[in-house]
Chains A and B, each alone.
Chain A
Amino acid sequence: MDKKAIIEIENLSFSYDGTNVLENVNLTIGEKDFVWIVGPNGGGKTTLLKLILGLLSPTKGSVRVFGTSPQQARTQIGYMPQYAQLDPSFPVSVLDVVLMGRLCKGQFFGPFKRGDRKIALEMLREVGLAEFADRHYASLSGGQQRRLLIARALASRPELLILDEPTANLDLLVVRELYELLHRLNKQFTIVMVSHDPAFVAQTVKNVICVNRRVAVHPTTEVGDEIMSELYHGQVRMVRHGHSAGEEK
């Protein structure tokens, strides 16, 4: 493929307390890709994301994002962490949450500037939450809170979006809306996402990455809807059967 490579992972291994979480991962994610990361709990999905974000350092091998180290590339990455780790009753307004996305772009001292607010409001409009700007974070519904966190990820004007389970614990209708939003955003951004919703993901994503200590990549075009769901349920077996890890077909 002659697309520009956004994320390049070479011979990466990561171990925690002596156990290997990820082994010999090779992976290339290109510009405007929409990549879905699947795998069993504890299989290393979130670890892989954190390595790409530079929150963890690989034990062996290398991660390069936008041709540089993840730490240096962070300004160009929009991140949505797992929703469950946030305090739902935290006293903060919707606009203030989006503004957090401007942290590295704005100035170091003092409050956010008018320009930051303008961009934050723009991002709220992008995800359809403009009229909620002044509302309390806790007063939003689960789906709206997810949209808000996506707006926050967008607020740093990134080129790459990394989402960790954006649709966990949502009802199907809301999940569908969220995927429509992501599908639209994919026209501008490269998206890497961990998710548990095979049915919706299949219509949206371009590549599937199976993570269970080892990593295998499948283009969705070659994997139909039925195979997708089988893949989702039976991925452990399939990975054991040994795809050549990391080679995009």
Chain B
Amino acid sequence: MTEFLDAVFNHTFMFYALLTGILASIACGVVGTYVVARRITYIAGGIAHSVLGGMGLAYYLSVVHNLTWLQPLHGAVVAALASAVTIALAGLYFKEREDTVIGAIWAIGMAVGIIFIAQTPGYNENLMSYLFGNILMVSLGDLWLIAALDALVLVVGFLFHKQIAAVCFDEEFARVRGVNVQFFYLLLLCLTALTVVILTTVVGIVMVIAFLTLPVAIAGFFTGKLWQTMVLATLLSIFFMTFGLAISYSPDLPAGATIIILAGLTYLAVTAYKAARKFRRS
């Protein structure tokens, strides 16, 4: 542990990594709570995987057309938002086949990403870090972008929490109360998209859903209110990020995977404890 603290204070990459983890936790706690409450984890999964398409395209353009300012993270933001809008429209006009549309976006995004990465000349070690995350590679530019996305998520969440919560709980009632249900559902999906992008930098595309849901699920055992769930999930998430990073440092384990295992085991332990108590009581 001292070794880890040492690294945080002496190596910028470790300091950035820790800061990314904490920033990601905030968006994760807030938006994850909506996602779990509204039961749209599958949508979050679709958006997460479509992100690879944007990353691959941005990477291809930056290498082949020499657009050095273009980062994979930029492509990720665009792809995530585009998927969110498409899924929202599908939900509106194509309700009965919404899951098929999500599945298609999920797979097409991955396919586009793989093709562009394969077409990019040079040795591509990037694919692995996109898929499984590499928090130690976060640059200062990435950090600023993540901070900006975080701020956006928090501001929108604060300004429109009551509308988003109402749309999640009871869409029809919200509509009668004059809430623009379509708009706020789209807004929720866009917030989800931005959060997914932030989390991708930490745990990668494949494990995003786990991190969006596990802290919220654990928090849900202890509280039954939206804002309390948000705060508790954020704190839990910060805990997992920090300790996962610390545990992974000395043995040089992949940080994202370590964080997920820590969160997953905690979730299973809490679930087992609750189940055991219920069993004893009955």
Contacts and interface: CB of A to CB of B under 8 A. Distances in A.
B235 interface: no
Which of B165, B177, B225 has most A Cβ within 10 Å? B177
A92 B172 contact: no
- The majority secondary structure among interface residues of chain B is helix
Interface in B239-260: none
Contact of A103 (B37, B158, B162, B223): B162
B224 A137 contact: yes
B219 to A, nearest CB: 9
A144 to B, nearest CB: 14
A238 interface: no
Contacts of B160: 109
Interface string A90-133: 11110011011101101001111000000000000000000000
A85 interface: yes
Interface residues of A, number: 33
Interface in A60-93: 74-75, 77, 79, 81, 85-87, 90-93
Contacts of B159: 109-110
B173 interface: yes
A85 B174 CA distance: 13
Contacts of A87: 37, 39, 169
B225 A96 contact: yes
B179 A103 contact: yes
A53 B161 CA distance: 25
B67 to A, nearest CB: 38
Interface residues of B, number: 28
B169 A86 contact: yes
Interface in A121-165: 135-139, 152, 156
Contact of A110 (B158, B165, B166, B170): B158
Given A75-B178, A152-B173, A91 B162 contact: no
Interface of A: 53, 55, 74-75, 77, 79, 81, 85-87, 90-93, 96-97, 99-101, 103-104, 106, 109-112, 135-139, 152, 156
Interface of B: 33, 37, 39, 158-163, 165-166, 168-170, 172-179, 220, 223-226, 229
18 contacts: A74-B176, A79-B176, A86-B169, A91-B229, A92-B165, A92-B224, A92-B225, A97-B169, A99-B162, A100-B162, A100-B173, A103-B162, A104-B177, A111-B162, A112-B162, A135-B224, A137-B224, A138-B224
